[in-house]
């Protein structure tokens, strides 16, 4: 899986702070605690909606993106199986099917590939032939969300209860956003970094 940051609001923390200070008509200096952690702690989250980021995720499965697109406050563009041929589709191998089971899994994928090609050769449109394709089918997706929504997505999808592939994608996005806006994401990066390493926070 590859996760690339395509765009981010310039100087996002400054913009969030500026929006929040508009609410209080304050210029800063009134507290020794930085403003962003105070906003997070108090649940004053609307200022975080003014900053956003766009990622491209590729080499991931449709099983993963099916979960990701459930997040309705996110904008999405995804590779179409109506318009793009899948006769040589790539696929994601779950870790539990790697190792000695990998060959059997690859043979299953080959069977599905020949099923897809059979229907295409019979003149069936891509939009219908795709009905035989697997959840493992590799895809590419571009998503945009504001920082409030990214915090929500990470809270749900970086937790150990989340499925491994969406957790991997979200941990990579969290790491990138934490690098560029630690005032917004450091608490989540700390919490989920530790949890995913099996440590207690």
For residues 162 and 156, is the Cβ–Cβ distance under 8 A? yes
When binding is defined by CB under 6 A, the residue of 7, 41, 73, 77 that contacts ligand FAD is: 73
Residue 108 in 3-state DSSP? helix
Residues within window 21-50 making contact with ligand FAD, judged by CB under 6 A: none
Of 40, 50, 69, 57, the C-alpha closest to 147 is 50
Q: Which stretch binds ligand FAD (CB under 6 A): 1-9, 51-59, 150-158, 170-178?
A: 150-158
69 counts as binding ligand FAD under rule CB under 6 A:
no
* Distance of closest approach, residue 61 Cβ to ligand FAD, in angstroms: 16
Q: By C-beta, is 62 or 157 nearer to ligand FAD?
A: 157
When binding is defined by CB under 6 A, the residue of 31, 82, 104, 161 that contacts ligand FAD is: 161
Q: Which stretch binds ligand FAD (CB under 6 A): 49-57, 105-113, 125-133, 157-165?
A: 157-165
* Burial profile 80-104: b = 16 or more Cβ within 10 angstroms, e = fewer: ebeeeebeebebbeeeeeeeeeeee
Which of 113, 130, 157, 167 is catalytic? The answer is 157
Q: At what angle do helices 147-157 and 182-196 cross, to 10 degrees?
A: 10
Element counts in the chain: helices (H) and strands (E):
8, 4
155 counts as binding ligand FAD under rule CB under 6 A:
no
User: Largest alpha-carbon pair distance within the chain?
Assistant: 72
Question: For this structure, is 122 an active site residue?
Answer: no
| The CA-based dihedral angle spanning residues 149, 154, 157, 158, taken in that order and rounded to the nearest 10 degrees | 180
71 counts as binding ligand FAD under rule CB under 6 A:
yes
Distance CA 14, CA 25 (A): 15
Q: Which stretch binds ligand FAD (CB under 6 A): 28-36, 123-131, 152-160, 186-194?
A: 152-160
Contacts with ligand FAD, residue ranges (CB under 6 A): 70-73, 149, 152, 156-157, 161-162
Catalytic residue list: 157
């Amino acid at each position: 899986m590859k996760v690339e940051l395509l765009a981010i609001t310039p100087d996002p923390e400054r913009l969030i702070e500026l929006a929040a200070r508009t609410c209080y008509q304050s210029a800063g200096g009134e507290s020794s605690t930085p403003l962003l952690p105070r906003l997070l702690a108090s649940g004053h989250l609307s200022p975080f909606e003014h900053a956003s980021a766009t990622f491209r995720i590729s080499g991931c499965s449709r099983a993963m993106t099916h979960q990701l697109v459930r997040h309705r406050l996110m904008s999405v563009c995804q590779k179409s199986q109506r318009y793009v041929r899948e006769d040589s589709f790539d696929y994601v191998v779950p870790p539990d099917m790697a190792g000695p089971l990998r060959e059997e899994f690859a043979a299953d994928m080959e069977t599905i590939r020949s099923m897809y090609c059979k229907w295409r050769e019979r003149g069936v449109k891509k939009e219908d032939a795709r009905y035989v394709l697997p959840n493992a089918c590799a895809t590419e997706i571009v998503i945009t969300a504001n920082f409030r929504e990214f915090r929500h997505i990470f809270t749900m999808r970086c937790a150990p209860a989340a499925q491994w592939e969406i957790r991997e994608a979200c941990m990579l996005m969290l790491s990138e956003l934490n690098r560029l806006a630690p005032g917004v994401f450091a608490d989540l990066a700390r919490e989920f970094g530790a949890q995913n390493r099996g440590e207690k926070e």
